[in-house]
A and B are shown apart, each in its own frame.
Chain A
C-alpha cells in the first residue's frame, strides 16, 4: 500500500461530506460573478459613465479597498468590471478556501475521524492528498464557471483571453490560500488555532497589498493577494500572476506533505502546553469563563482591527494632500481652500472605511452570540446548567461580552484610522477632529447592535436558523461595500441596517434613526431573551 493509497476513495467521501457547503459556495460565487457581469453594461455602458467611475476608482479610499489598477487608452466596460470585482471576488474565494481546507484536515482530525479512517488500509498521506484534490476540483470548477459566465455575459471590451484569465487567475489565488490552510492545519494542533493562524497570514497579505497599492503599486507584487490585481485581464493580460500563484501553491503543498509525514496523528508543531493546576481567582463565573476560553481570539480581533485601522491611517498623508498631485493649487485657490479640500477628502475616505470597519467589527460579537448555541449543542453548557446559574445570566454573559467586544473593536478600528492618520499629517487641522470621530462612532454603533441583536433573537427563539445572521451580515456588507459602485437601487441598501444611517462624518448623525435603531436592537434582544428562557436546550 503506497502512502497515497485509496486517495481516490477519500476524495469521493470528502466531496460527499461537503456537498452542501461546496454547492452553496459555488452557486453564490458563480452567480455573483455572472450576474454582476450580466448587468454591468447597464451600469457602466456609456463613455460618460465610464469616465465618471474612472475618477472614483482612482480615489485613495477605493484603491485601498479594491486595489490599484492601471488603465490604458480607451477604457471599456469590461476593464471597469475587472477593477471592481477581481480583488473582491478573490477575498471571498480565499475565505471559502480557508474554511474548506481546515475543515477537511484538522477539523476531521479533532473529531477523531481521521484516526478511524487511518485505521483502515489507507495511505498515511491519503487524507491530506484527498483534501488537496478536493480544493483543486472546487477551485477549478469555479474557474470554469467564471470563464463560461463571463463569456456568456459578453461585456463590451471583454476578450476571450481576459475572461479565462479571470477564471483561472481567481482559481489559482483561491488554491494558493487553500494550500496555506493545509499547512496551518499541520502546524497547529487543533482546528480553531489553524484557522486563526491562516487568517493572520491572510490579513497580513491583505494589509501588505493595501499599503503598497496606495503608495507604491509596484511593491504589491510582494503580496500573494496583490497578484490578482496584476492580471489586468482586459487591458494588458498578464499570465505571470497565475504561474506565480500555482508555483507557490505547489511549494506550500509540498511543505504540507513534508510536515504531515513528520508528525504524529493529532499532534502539531505548535503543541498544547500543560496549564494551571488550579483556577486563578478571577475564573469564577460565566463571564470570566468566556474570557478565559476566548481571550486569545478576542485580543487577536481587537489588536488586529486596530492595526487594520492604523494601516489605513498611514495613507492619510498621501491622499490628504492635494498639493502633492497638484502643486499649483495653492497659488490659485489660497491655503484655506486647499486645507478645506484636503479635509473633505479625508472625511469621505474615513466615512467609507467606517462602514467597512463596522461590518468587520460585527464578526467577533456575532461569533460569540452564536457560540452560545454551539456550546449548547456540544454539551459544554450541560455542566453549567447543573449549577445554580439561570439562563438569563448565562445568555446575558455571552450577549454582553459580544456587544462590548464589537463596540470596542469598532471604536478601536476607527481610532486606529483617525489617530494614525492625523499623526501622519503635516498639517493636523486637515485631519479628522475629535467631534467627527465621535459622530462616526455614534453613526455606526446602532447598526452593529442591530446585527448582533438579530443573532440574539435567532439563538433565543429559532437556533436552527442561526446561520441566517451570517447571510444577513454578508448581504449588508456587500450592499455597502459594492453598493455605490454597482449602482444598486436604494431598497437593496435598505435591506440591512448597514444602509439605514447616512454616511457620517460626511453627513451628520440622524438622531431619530439612531433612536429607533437602538430601540429595535433592544426589542430583538428582549424577544430573544424571552424565547431562550422558555425553549428546550439541545444537547447532543
Chain B
C-alpha cells in the first residue's frame, strides 16, 4: 500500500479501573478500503471505536486518524469523519428530519438532494418525532446523516442490527459506493455474511486483543478445507495423514473430512489413486473462521 493509512492504531490499551478492556489493539485502515472489525459481545469493539472518537482516553499505545492524535485533535478529525453508533439514541422530541439536518449542519454541510434521495431509498418518515421511531428507524436516521456527509473516513458500529433485509442491502450498496469513491470505512459487525461480502480486510478481536488481521483469502490459509469425496474402492480415509474429523457419508464409500491446507496436495494425490467418483470441496466461511478462533474447534 503506497498511500498513508487513514487510521493507524498501535498497541492501543484501555483500562477501566482494574479492568483491562483493551489489551493490545493494532491495525490500519487505508483509503478505498473497507475494514471489517469482528468479535463477540464485550470483546472491545465499541470501546476501541470510542477511543477513536476521543470520547474516552486511551491508557496506552497510540491511535491516529488522518495522522492526527484521536484525543487531542478530535475536533479537527471529526470534520472529515462520519460515525454511526450501534445503539442510536435520538433526542425524543425532535423529528427525524430535524435531527438529520442538525447533524449535517454541525459538520458544516447542509441538507442536499442526496439527503432527500437517501430518505426516500431507506423509506424513512422524517416528520415523526424520534420518540416514536423503532430501533431500525433510529438507525436509518443516523445512516442517512452519515451517508449524506462528504467525509473521508466512515465508522459504522453494528449499523444493520435493526434493519430489515431490504434496507440492509441499501446499506451495503451505499458502503460499496463509498469504497469506489476511495473512502476508508471501518465496519464493526456481527453479521458475518455482510462482512464477508463487503470487507477487503478483517480484524478479529478477542478479549481486548486483535488476534488476526488480513484478507479473507489470507485467513483461509490458516484453516482447513472441508472435503466430501466418494471413492471407487474401500480405501479407509482415516489412515491418511493430515485429515481431521473423518465421518462416513450417507452412501457407501462416501467420506467427509477436513484437511489442513499444507496437507491438501498429498491427500489429493493419495485419493486420486483410489478412483474418485465424486469430489466436493468447501472453503471455510467466515463463520467457520470465527468459530475456529473463538472455540478452538473447526
Q: CA–CA, A379 to B50, complex, Å?
A: 12
A272-B132, A276-B98, A536-B56 known; A285 and B106 CB under 8 Å?
A: yes
Closest CB-CB distance, B82 to chain A, in whole Å? 8
B9 close to chain A: CB less than 8 A = no
Flag if B106 contacts A278 (CB, 8 Å).
no
Which residues of chain B are near A382, meaning CB under 8 Å?
A: 53, 55, 85, 89
Flag if A275 contacts B56 (CB, 8 Å).
no
Flag if B131 contacts A284 (CB, 8 Å).
no
Closest CB-CB distance, B159 to chain A, in whole Å? 13
| A358-408 interface with B by 8 A CB criterion | 378-380, 382-390
Which residues of chain A are near B142, meaning CB under 8 Å?
A: 383
Flag if A279 contacts B101 (CB, 8 Å).
yes
Q: Which of B72-80, B177-185, B203-211, B245-253 contacts A (4 or more CB under 8 A)?
A: B72-80
Q: CA–CA, A386 to B142, complex, Å?
A: 11
What string of 1s and 0s marks CB contacts (under 8 Å) between B74-112 and chain A? 111011011101011111111101111111011110010
Contact of A278 among B81, B91, B97 (CB under 8 A): B97
Flag if A539 contacts B55 (CB, 8 Å).
yes
Contact of B55 among A279, A293, A385, A534 (CB under 8 A): A385
Flag if A190 contacts B106 (CB, 8 Å).
no
Q: Which chain B residue shows the least CB distance to A534?
A: B57
B126 close to chain A: CB less than 8 A = yes
Flag if B129 contacts A275 (CB, 8 Å).
yes
Contact of B78 among A190, A289, A388, A540 (CB under 8 A): A388
Q: Which chain A residue shows the least CB distance to B127?
A: A274
Flag if B129 contacts A278 (CB, 8 Å).
no
Closest CB-CB distance, B187 to chain A, in whole Å? 16
Flag if B107 contacts A383 (CB, 8 Å).
no
Q: CA–CA, A80 to B92, complex, Å?
A: 48
Which residues of chain A are near B76, meaning CB under 8 Å?
A: 388
Flag if B106 contacts A279 (CB, 8 Å).
no
Flag if A383 contacts B85 (CB, 8 Å).
yes
Q: CA–CA, A272 to B96, complex, Å?
A: 14
A356 close to chain B: CB less than 8 A = no
What string of 1s and 0s marks CB contacts (under 8 Å) between A276-299 and chain B? 111110011100010011000000
Q: CA–CA, A390 to B76, complex, Å?
A: 9
What string of 1s and 0s marks CB contacts (under 8 Å) between A507-540 and chain B? 0000000000000000000000000001011011
| B113-153 interface with A by 8 A CB criterion | 125-129, 131-132, 142
A190-B131, A277-B97, A279-B105 known; A390 and B75 CB under 8 Å?
A: yes
Flag if B101 contacts A278 (CB, 8 Å).
yes
Q: CA–CA, A195 to B281, complex, Å?
A: 65
Q: CA–CA, A387 to B50, complex, Å?
A: 13
Q: CA–CA, A279 to B81, complex, Å?
A: 22
B32 close to chain A: CB less than 8 A = no
B54 close to chain A: CB less than 8 A = yes
A384-B106, A386-B81, A389-B75 known; A378 and B55 CB under 8 Å?
A: no
Q: Which chain B residue shows the least CB distance to A535?
A: B57
Flag if A277 contacts B126 (CB, 8 Å).
yes
Q: CA–CA, A277 to B98, complex, Å?
A: 7
Q: Which chain A residue shows the least CB distance to B105?
A: A284
Flag if A284 contacts B102 (CB, 8 Å).
yes
Closest CB-CB distance, A294 to chain B, in whole Å? 9
Flag if B57 contacts A388 (CB, 8 Å).
no
Which residues of chain B are near A379, meaning CB under 8 Å?
A: 85, 87-89
Q: Which chain B residue shows the least CB distance to A376?
A: B55
Which residues of chain A are near B54, meaning CB under 8 Å?
A: 385
Q: Which chain B residue shows the least CB distance to A292?
A: B94
Which residues of chain B are near A385, meaning CB under 8 Å?
A: 53-55, 74, 78
Which residues of chain B are near A293, meaning CB under 8 Å?
A: 91, 93-94
Contact of A388 among B94, B107, B129 (CB under 8 A): B107
Which residues of chain A are near B97, meaning CB under 8 Å?
A: 275-279
Flag if A380 contacts B75 (CB, 8 Å).
no
Contact of B128 among A274, A378, A534, A539 (CB under 8 A): A274
Closest CB-CB distance, B192 to chain A, in whole Å? 25
Q: Which chain B residue shows the least CB distance to A537?
A: B55
Closest CB-CB distance, B135 to chain A, in whole Å? 11
Q: Which chain A residue shows the least CB distance to B146?
A: A386
Which residues of chain A are near B155, meaning CB under 8 Å?
A: 386
Which residues of chain A are near B102, meaning CB under 8 Å?
A: 279, 283-284, 289
Which residues of chain A are near B50, meaning CB under 8 Å?
A: 537, 539
- Which of B57, B76, B105 has the most CB atoms of chain A within a 10 A radius of its CB? B105
Closest CB-CB distance, A29 to chain B, in whole Å? 32
Flag if B103 contacts A387 (CB, 8 Å).
yes
Q: Which chain B residue shows the least CB distance to A272?
A: B129
A278-B97, A283-B101 known; A378 and B53 CB under 8 Å?
A: no
**Could you give 17 example pairs across A and B, Cβ below 8 Å?**
A190-B131, A272-B93, A274-B128, A275-B128, A275-B129, A279-B98, A279-B102, A279-B111, A284-B102, A292-B94, A293-B93, A383-B88, A386-B78, A388-B78, A388-B106, A539-B46, A539-B55
20 other A-B residue contacts (CB within 8 Å) besides A382-B85, A385-B53: A274-B95, A275-B94, A275-B97, A275-B129, A277-B97, A278-B97, A279-B100, A279-B101, A283-B101, A289-B102, A292-B94, A383-B90, A385-B74, A386-B53, A386-B83, A387-B78, A388-B107, A388-B108, A390-B74, A537-B55
Q: Residues of B at under 8 Å CB distance from A?
A: 46, 50, 53-57, 74-76, 78-79, 81-83, 85, 87-95, 97-103, 105-108, 111, 125-129, 131-132, 142, 155
Closest CB pairs A-B (n = 5): A279-B101, A379-B89, A386-B83, A536-B56, A275-B95
